Amino acid sequence: MIPGPTIYYKCPICELLTSTGSLVSGNTIGSRLFSDGKSISPMLPEFPVMNKCQDCNHSFWLNDSTKFNGEISEKRITQAIFPNIEDLHNLLESKFYESKDEESYLRLRLMWAFNDRLREHKQMFNSSHEEEIWRNNQERHLEIIDDSRIDDKFLKVEILRNRGEFYDSFLVLMSVNNDEYMDIVDAFAKEINNENKEVFEIIT
Tens-place pLDDT, residues 137-156: 999 999 999 888 999 999 99
Q: Do 94 and 186 belong together in one domain?
A: yes
Cα 180 from Cα 201, distance rounded (Å): 18
Task: Look at the pTM and tell me if it is higher than 0.95.
Answer: no
Say if 29 falls within a structural domain: yes
Q: Do 73 and 123 belong together in one domain?
A: no
Q: Do 105 and 78 belong together in one domain?
A: no
Say if 75 falls within a structural domain: yes
Confidence at residue 74, expressed as pLDDT on a 0 to 100 scale: 75
**CA–CA distances in Å: residue 125 to residues 122, 128, 133:** 9, 7, 10
> What's the average model confidence in pLDDT over 37-60?
93
Confidence at residue 73, expressed as pLDDT on a 0 to 100 scale: 81
Q: Do 153 and 131 belong together in one domain?
A: yes
Cα 15 from Cα 12, distance rounded (Å): 6
Confidence at residue 59, expressed as pLDDT on a 0 to 100 scale: 95
Q: Do 76 and 89 belong together in one domain?
A: no
**Per-residue pLDDT reduced to its tens digit, 51-90:** 999 999 999 999 999 999 998 887 899 999 999 999 999 9
Closest CA to 204 of 192, 191, 187, 190: 187
> What end-to-end distance do the CA atoms of the chain give, in Å?
24
Tell me the pLDDT of the chain averaged across its residues: 94
Q: Do 74 and 91 belong together in one domain?
A: no
| Domain limits for position 182 | 85-198
Indicate the number of domains in the chain: 2
**Per-residue pLDDT reduced to its tens digit, 148-180:** 899 999 999 999 999 999 999 999 999 998 999
Helix (H) or strand (E) holding 163: none
* Parallel/antiparallel/unpaired status of strands 77-79 and 50-52: unpaired
Cα 161 from Cα 74, distance rounded (Å): 52
Phi then psi for residue 77, to 5 deg, are -130, 130
pLDDT band (50, 70, 90) for residue 25: confident
Q: Do 66 and 136 belong together in one domain?
A: no
Q: Do 61 and 144 belong together in one domain?
A: no
Say if 204 falls within a structural domain: no
Confidence at residue 156, expressed as pLDDT on a 0 to 100 scale: 98
